[in-house]
Amino acid sequence: MPDFSSNAPTPSPPQQRKAEDRWHHLPFSKMQCLYTIENLLPKEYVQDLGSNPGYVAISNDKSLLFCYWNDGDSQAYAATYALSTGEEISSQSLDNSHTLSLGSNGKIGISNDYYPHQLNVETQEFRLFDSETNPQTNLPNSSVVVCPSELPLAAFWEHIGPRTEIELWDYERGEQCFRYVNTETYQSANSFDPDSNSKELCFSPDGSLLIAKFYFKDEHAHQKAACCLKVWDTFSAELIYETTSNLQPMSGCSQHPQDGFLLYGVTGEQVIIQALLNDKVLFSQTGNAPCHMTLDGQIIAFCTGNSDVEVWNWKQNQKLTTLSNQSEPLLHLEVSQDQEFIITHSQDGRIKIWGVPEKHHEKDPV
């Protein structure tokens, strides 16, 4: 197995780490709801697309909130909002439904229908890939994840019954990096739990690893079903790690300066953070999905039983703040990578933008 110790940044001196911890604590302790966005979708689309967007993400390079609706067939709608003001920046009705995933820079969105597209979030502009480098994936109806770093990597995955196929593509060159076909006794969790907040595929923050999670086929009905985790090196296409366990949270992957690659997610009613390549549990706290961790592995936010959001510096085992007054259970929760904003999307169709009022005073808080 390759030595990944070099992937983690060199630990900071103690005094520097203390200063960094204080910097992390202060903004979150002062956070309030700055803006509430309601009626995101024009009335003429609600009957066909529903009031709640199916995909919500933060475009970190321009501090934009991206929302996307689709009917799974022939109609879709996309809109962006400024996190600093809560105002709509752009919106557009689209002719076809797509399955999207944004990189952390927010400029890459891949639609994995029969004609893959690239999406510019700022302009809401879809365009076909260059026909000479168009990824000819064999999985036209699959789901997709995009690498959060600048590496131009996208992974397509599809499951039919017990068969799961995964393809990793360089979408700039239009080259397939590797293809994995699973015909073992494992099955993708999403095939029997479509409402799960747990992901089945994700990249490490630096794009060097691709991580896939499978459940045992004959135990899929159980809440704590045993599952299999597989990890590939995206550069060599080697399967470098595989483990089976009853404890496999996977809402995402982060990279902590001292603890390296981390998996995080919810297992049962516990928010878990564990080391990726040895399954050591580093943090456990009562909570519910959705949850979100910053890519640097410093801050984790998750729901409580009453739909409040708790924000923790998990390394210090310290709760930084609680975001209250959520009207309905949450569908999506995300912390911006600059840690200035948190967005919450609830079942009543409202999206709240949380931040520090004195930093963002363009409009009065809602």
Write down the H helix ranges in the chain. 14-29, 43-49
pLDDT at 15: 44
User: Which superfamily does CATH assign the domain made up of 22-38+261-366 to?
Assistant: YVTN repeat-like/Quinoprotein amine dehydrogenase (2.130.10.10)
CB 293 within 8 Å of CB 282 = no
Percent of the chain with pLDDT over 70: 71
Q: pLDDT tens digits for 312-360?
A: 999 999 999 999 877 788 999 999 988 899 999 998 889 999 998 876 5
pLDDT at 240: 95
Tens digit of pLDDT per residue, the chain (366 long)? 334 333 444 444 444 444 444 444 557 888 999 999 998 888 888 888 888 898 898 887 778 898 988 887 778 888 889 999 999 988 888 777 677 787 766 666 666 555 556 666 666 555 545 555 556 666 666 778 889 888 888 888 887 766 788 999 887 777 889 999 887 655 554 443 333 455 788 999 999 999 998 876 554 444 455 778 899 999 999 999 998 876 678 899 999 999 999 999 998 889 999 999 888 999 999 999 999 999 999 999 999 877 899 999 999 999 999 998 777 889 999 999 888 999 999 988 899 999 988 765 544 444
Q: Which residue type does 134 have? A: N
> The pTM is what?
0.82
Euclidean distance between CA atoms 229 and 243, whole angstroms = 5
Euclidean distance between CA atoms 3 and 157, whole angstroms = 27
Q: pLDDT tens digits for 182-229?
A: 876 555 544 433 334 557 889 999 999 999 988 765 544 444 557 788
**Residues linked to residue 356 through DSSP beta bridges, in sequence order:** none
Lookup: tokens for 82: 């400024």
- Dihedral of CA atoms 231, 234, 238, 242 in degrees, nearest 10, equals 0
Query: What is the Cα Rg of the chain in Å?
Result: 20
For residue 243, the SS3 value is: strand
For residue 180, the SS3 value is: strand
For the beta carbon of residue 271, count every other beta carbon within 10 angstroms.
Answer: 28
Per-domain residue ranges for the chain?
22-38+261-366
Euclidean distance between CA atoms 332 and 347, whole angstroms = 9
